[in-house]
Amino acid sequence: MNTAISTNHRLWAYLQMMRPANIVTAWADVLAGFAISGCIILTTLETHWGSLLWLLLSTTGLYGGGIVFNDIFDSEIDAVERPERPLPSGRASYQGAVLLASVLLSIGILAAAKISLLSGSLACGVAAAAILYDALGKHHKIFGPLNMGICRGGNLLLGVSVVSPMVMQNWFLALIPIVYIAAVTTLSRGEVKGGNHSNGVIALVMLASVIAGLLGLGLLNHDRLLAVLPFIVLLAARVLVPFIKATREPIPTNIQMAVRAGVLSLIVLDATVAASFAGLPYGLLVLSLLPISTVLAKMFAVT
Domain limits at 207? 8-299
CA-wise closest residue to 134 among 71, 90, 212, 89 = 71
pLDDT tens-digit readout, 140-191: 888 888 998 999 999 999 999 999 999 999 999 999 999 999 999 888 875 5
Q: Is the pLDDT of residue 116 over 50?
A: yes
Here the CATH number for the domain that contains residue 229 is 1.10.357.140
Domain assignment of residue 1, yes or no: no
Gyration radius (Cα) of the chain, Å: 19
Q: Exposed, middle or buried by CB within 10 Å (0-12, 13-18, 19+), for 69?
A: buried
Alpha-helical runs (H) found in 92-224:
94-113, 117-135, 143-160, 165-170, 175-188, 197-220
Q: Exposed, middle or buried by CB within 10 Å (0-12, 13-18, 19+), for 143?
A: middle
Q: Where is mean pLDDT largest: 116-120, 198-202, 255-259?
A: 116-120
Please give the distance of CA 219 from its chain centroid, rounded to a whole number.
26
Domain assignment of residue 21, yes or no: yes
Q: Which residue has the higher pLDDT, 1 or 76?
A: 76
% of the chain beyond a pLDDT of 90: 58
Question: What pLDDT shows up at residue 50?
Answer: 87
Specify the number of domains making up the chain: 1
Q: Exposed, middle or buried by CB within 10 Å (0-12, 13-18, 19+), for 75?
A: middle
Q: Which residue has the higher pLDDT, 82 or 53?
A: 53
Domain assignment of residue 2, yes or no: no
Helix or strand run (H / E) with residue 298: helix 289-299
Q: Is the pLDDT of residue 295 over 70?
A: yes
Helix or strand run (H / E) with residue 46: none
Domain assignment of residue 3, yes or no: no
SS3 for 275-296, per residue? HHHHCHHHHHHHHCHHHHHHHH
Whole-model pTM? 0.89
Q: Is the pLDDT of residue 47 over 70?
A: no
Handedness of CA 66, 38, 118, 58 (dihedral sign): positive
Alpha-helical runs (H) found in 18-48:
20-36
Domain assignment of residue 122, yes or no: yes
Question: What pLDDT shows up at residue 3?
Answer: 53
Q: What is the mean pLDDT of the chain?
A: 88
In this prediction, residues 109-124 reach a mean pLDDT of 97
Domain assignment of residue 131, yes or no: yes
Number of neighbouring beta carbons within 10 Å of residue 221:
14
Question: What pLDDT shows up at residue 1?
Answer: 43
Q: Is the pLDDT of residue 6 over 70?
A: no
pLDDT tens-digit readout, 219-254: 776 667 788 899 999 999 999 999 999 989 888 888
Q: Is the pLDDT of residue 129 over 90?
A: yes
